[in-house]
Structure 1
Amino acid sequence: MILNIPLSMLDSLHLMAVRAGKEIMEVYNSDFEVEYKGDDSPVTAADRRAEDLITKAIKEEITAEFPIIGEEAFSDGNVPAIGDGPFWLLDPLDGTKEFVKKTGEFTVNIALINLGMPVVGVVHTPATGHVYMGSPHGAFADLGSGPKPISCRAWPPGGLTALVSKSHKSPETDEFLKDYDIREETSAGSSLKFCVIARGIADIYPRLGRTMEWDTAAGHAVLRAAGGTVTDLDGKPLTYGKPGFENPHFVAKGKQQG
């Protein structure tokens, strides 16, 4: 399907993510309880409140035409059929472990998928108020003074900056990075790693562990709009709508020429 993505949709998603972020921060600043799902991952009232808000807002403010796959609804067994058309992927609170630790490094993630690829993505960090957006209109970051265009940098000749996960770094990641000229490693939580590459601050992020599509879709959309790529380890583009919505190992990269 050829989608018309007006700027008004991006404005709506931007405001929607910020509203969800306010719900999250209300819980964050309270004495909240932590529950654990079947896979031992934590979940809080913030996850559920944010997903409910976003799901309702998409249907009422944008369109009720496309199916919505949300992390918490999926966990509860509510999985609409997506067919071959566009669908939404929501991770209302990516980085719940960081949320529980109160590090501030957690995000709201909203993505629209079409033809297996993320065509629109919004990533919001409630603790800082920052918003990252990617679409056919380009990639933008609002770091407090309004949206500004962002783009990946060409790989620097003096060596790359690699992003590694705070919670999931492994010996396999170290082995993978030996094939690259790495000058320094830095860490970032949740889907912010895609956005850091999209801003031209880092160059490569390998993830050799289990992730779900809603973990990556919004950040992937931002990085893609900024000129970067996300592929599996064989170099094939990471796609969406896979059975079970589970990703293979992948690597996100900025612009490699230069």
Structure 2
Amino acid sequence: MARSALLNVMVQAVFKAGKSLARDFGEVQNLQVSLKGPADYVSQADRKAERIIREELMKARPTYGFLGEEGEEIKGTDGAHRWIVDPLDGTKEFINRRNDFTVNIALIEGNVPVAGIVYAPAQRCAYVADGGRAEKLLLDPAWALEHRQSIRVRMRGVELTAVASRSHNSSETEAFLNGHGVMNYASVGSSLKFCLLAEGKADVYPRFGRTMEWDTAAGDAVLKAAGGSVVRLDGSRLLYGKTVQEEDSAFANPHFIAWADMSSLHLSGAEGLQPAYALS
């Protein structure tokens, strides 16, 4: 099955899960919600959406591995490929009836996302990436495709606009914004931060809080296809499949910076990022 056909599978899986989430969103007051950790919510909607996605993807590619936020890892017989899924990114936004929650699927080849989709059901839009192309899909009220358009990051200007997490801001984030002369700042939940960079509405997303691979893989794929980059603090690319880590648990990400346009940064290892701010 060609990758373009796999993208169609991903789109169908995420839309199917999105319809389930849309129904639960309308009756969110009746959902069973629990805490997995400090400020880390999970609901029955998360688990149901992941089950829908897993069944669709594994039916299409049963040899691929599967990593979802709400279930155990499935090790595939094809060691080169795996799905990474976050069935409901922004559970806190979801249960508080904000519309910036997303459903995320990424296809990993080796240790790099090569295709992905970020779907925002309450906003009736999706961002897809495949083969170095990124698009934004707009849906009508009946969930049918209404419009699609290619998206691309914007060139770096004199004044930068940053996006950052509504729930996970930090002093390190503020230091980065101040050190890089960021003039405008928007706070948004979920992986939509990557997508705002991808469609040319912002320039940088610094993340100094803890994230997991399922939080970033799909957004990373979309941003990369649109011309952007997601890098560690030393300027190296953020990679996936981090199963054994002495400093953290499996699949945890280090701090990273997502850039729309890195062309004028002239990164050279750690020297390209660190002088503008200090990390404690």
TM-score, normalization by structure 1: 0.92
8 Å contact from structure 1 (residues 27, 45) kept in 2: no
8 Å contact from structure 1 (residues 47, 93) kept in 2: yes
Amino acid at match of 1:151: R
8 Å contact from structure 1 (residues 89, 111) kept in 2: yes
Deviation at 1:162, TM superposition (A): 0.5
Matched residue SS, 2:156: coil
Amino acid at match of 2:54: T
Could you tell me which residue of structure 1 aligns to residue 8 of structure 2?
A: 11
Could you tell me which residue of structure 2 aligns to residue 113 of structure 1?
A: 108
How do residues 122-201 of structure 1 correspond to structure 2 at under 5 angstroms?
Answer: 122-144=117-139, 145-157=146-158, 159-201=159-201
8 Å contact from structure 2 (residues 207, 255) kept in 1: yes
- RMSD over aligned CA atoms reads 1.6
Mapped partners of 2:10, 2:196: distance in 1: 20
Could you tell me which residue of structure 2 aligns to residue 87 of structure 1?
A: 82
Deviation at 1:5, TM superposition (A): 4.2
- Specify every segment of 5 or more residues in structure 1 that has no aligned partner in the other structure, as ranges: none
Mapped partners of 1:188, 1:147: distance in 2: 23
Matched residue SS, 2:45: helix
Which digits, 9 at most, give the CA deviation of each residue in 1:72-94, with x for residues without a partner?
00xxxx22346842111010000
Could you tell me which residue of structure 1 aligns to residue 63 of structure 2?
A: 65
Could you tell me which residue of structure 2 aligns to residue 235 of structure 1?
A: 235
Could you tell me which residue of structure 1 aligns to residue 41 of structure 2?
A: 42
Matched residue SS, 2:211: coil
Which digits, 9 at most, give the CA deviation of each residue in 1:219-240, with x for residues without a partner?
0000000000001111110000
Amino acid at match of 2:214: W
Percent identical: 42
Give the count of matched residue pairs: 249
Deviation at 1:6, TM superposition (A): 3.2
Q: Which structure would you say has the larger RCO, counting Cα contacts within 8 Å and 6 or more residues apart?
A: 1
Could you tell me which residue of structure 2 aligns to residue 251 of structure 1?
A: 257
Deviation at 1:99, TM superposition (A): 0.7
TM-score, normalization by structure 2: 0.85
8 Å contact from structure 1 (residues 18, 129) kept in 2: no
Amino acid at match of 2:223: L
Structure with greater Cα Rg: 2
Q: Which moved more, 1:187-196 or 1:38-47?
A: 38-47
